[in-house]
Amino acid sequence: MARPDRRDPTQIRALHCVLGQLNRVDGSAQFSAGDTSVLCGVYGPVDVKLYEEKLDRAHIEVKFRPDIGVP
């Protein structure tokens, strides 16, 4: 099956990471793959929220807020 971006079935999109994209945060990064991009900000310290976490793995809480359509 041919892909619209002409990659082979065994190829992945190029991955990019840029650090320090946001101001007034403890850390930030932007991850991109093709037309998909995620911007992450780390704020803290804050009180620890109790979850059913596994201590040998990372836990990420995602809050999604669209740019349009929000009152």
Task: Look up the pTM and report it.
Answer: 0.54
Residue 9 region, left (φ>0) first, then alpha (ψ -120 to 50), else beta? Answer: alpha
Q: What is the pLDDT of residues 6-43, one digit of tens each?
A: 888 888 888 888 999 888 888 899 988 888 888 888 87
pLDDT at 12: 83
